Amino acid sequence: VFRGQALERALKNASADWFSKSQHTMGQACDVEIPGMPTLALARWAVEHLDDFDQIICECYDPAKGPNSGWVHISLVPPGFGTNRRQQLSYIRHPVNRQFVYVNGLVATA
């Protein structure tokens, strides 16, 4: 759930003076995987069952690698720190340039 700045820099291979604005560094986000539950189904379940959230992102899901590839990012802005956006996004490979891109909605392909 929580990743301090040092770990965030290591994960991103960033310089010592780089500062991440990731919700993980503020303890407002977690990445979730449930063995045996397809990643896209987990993301959709979270949208349907969580009363409030800032973002639900189906990240790095690749149907070619199987239904459990990737993970689901779930974040929540605490009371008094802003408004939860209820964003639903997917972070998937673009079909042409194969780079990861964010797209609206919980989808498997761009």
- For the record, the structure tokens of 47 come out as 């949208």
Task: Identify any residues that bridge with 22 across adjacent strands, giving them in sequence order.
Answer: none
Q: What does the pLDDT read at residue 95? A: 85
29-85 confidence digits (pLDDT tens): 999 999 999 999 999 999 999 999 999 999 999 888 999 999 999 999 999 999 999
Residues 6, 73: Cα–Cα separation, whole Å: 20
The whole model's pTM is what? 0.90
Q: Whole-angstrom Cα distance, residue 106 to residue 48?
A: 12
Q: What is the pLDDT of residue 51?
A: 93
Summary count for the chain: helices (H), strands (E): 2, 5
Q: What pLDDT, on a 0 to 100 scale, did the predictor assign at position 98?
A: 85
The sign of the dihedral angle between the CA atoms of 21, 77, 36, 58 is negative
Strand 71-75 relative to strand 29-32, pairing: antiparallel
105 pLDDT higher than 80:
yes
